[in-house]
Amino acid sequence: MQIKLTSIFVNDQDKALKFYTEVLGFQKKHEFSAGTYKWLTVVSSEEPDGVQLVLELNQNPAAKTFQQEIHRQGIPAANFFVADVQEEHARLKDHGVTFTKDPTKTTGSTIAVLDDTCGNLIQITHLDW
């Protein structure tokens, strides 16, 4: 069994694609229409054949409520690993990214939490072990 796809709900797919590629540094893997639905995935530029992140439109009322509630509660919708949280934090701040949690040491890791501008909080993490 393998993980090949995982999803994150976004409130605007085009805006999300721009943020995830131009700011976070992912690369677009697939984008095609399927009727009124758009299939849109990105991958890590470090692992172009790795797990794809589906930028899924939150058009389902349950998806929209879920997305809004976890954001309201301060819960990250996804967690991305980075080599250096301080360095990535500085790079993203230079791109105008808003952080809800600046780099913080926790048990076994350093984390920071950012707003993806598409309805989600995203945690970046470096494991310290």
CB-count burial class (<10 Å; 0-12, 13-18, 19+) for 7: middle
What integer pLDDT is reported at residue 37 of this predicted model?
82
Beta-sheet pairing, 52-57 with 5-10: parallel
For the chain of 129 residues, list the mean pLDDT of each consecutive stretch of 10: 96 97 98 89 96 96 96 98 98 98 97 98 95
Q: Is the pTM for the entire model greater than 0.85? A: yes
Question: Domain 5-127 belongs to what architecture?
Answer: Roll (3.10)
What integer pLDDT is reported at residue 34 of this predicted model?
79
What integer pLDDT is reported at residue 36 of this predicted model?
79
